[in-house]
Amino acid sequence: EVQLVESGGGLVQPGGSLRLSCAASGFTFSDHFMDWVRQAPGKGLDWVGRIRKKANSYTTEYAASVKGRFTISRDDSKNSLFLQMNSLKTEDTAVYHCARWGDGNIYLYWGQGTLVTVSS
């Protein structure tokens, strides 16, 4: 069974940093592109960014709203995905989901998400 389990969320002050993790199981993690998608409370889905697999040189893509502040990385040996968030703003408050990108340009699997609250 495919599982994606996020952790690392919490309350942080504006300007602060936080590192989220996503533990993957039930599939060959290293074979897949992985994304972060967030959802502000009561709002819709907002794509954060992507990291490709080793065969694609682990290249990344980011939404304009987070570029330069957020960094996506992965550790295939530990089946883990990470999101380093710096210079956090109140508008970054959201549930952050990791999601597996699949053939057909679709999100096949999602984690339950971890809540990040940016507030003073």
Partner 1 sequence: DIVMTQTPLSSPVTLGQPASISCRSSQSLVHSDGNTYLSWLQQRPGQPPRLLIYKISNRFSGVPDRFSGSGAGTDFTLKISRVEAEDAGVYYCMQGIQYPITFGQGTRLEIK
Output the six-digit token pair for 54.
Answer: 């080793």
The CB-of-109 to partner 1 minimum distance in angstroms stands at 8
DSSP state of 120: -
Place of tokens 């699997």: 109
Among residues 79, 86, 107, 117, the one that binds partner 1 under rule CB under 8 A: 107
Interface pick for partner 1 out of 97, 114, 116, 118 (rule CB under 8 A): 97
> Cβ distance 46 to 38 under 8 Å?
yes
Q: For residue 99, how many other CB atoms are within 10 A of its CB?
A: 24
Per CB under 8 A, does 45 bind partner 1? yes
Number of residues that bind partner 1 (CB under 8 A): 20
Report CA dihedral (8, 37, 72, 104) to the nearest 10 degrees: 140
CB of 114 to partner 1, least distance (A): 11
Residue among 55, 64, 68, 77 that touches partner 1 (CB under 8 A) = 64
Rule CB under 8 A: which residues touch partner 1? 35, 37, 44-47, 50, 61, 63-64, 97, 104-108, 110-113
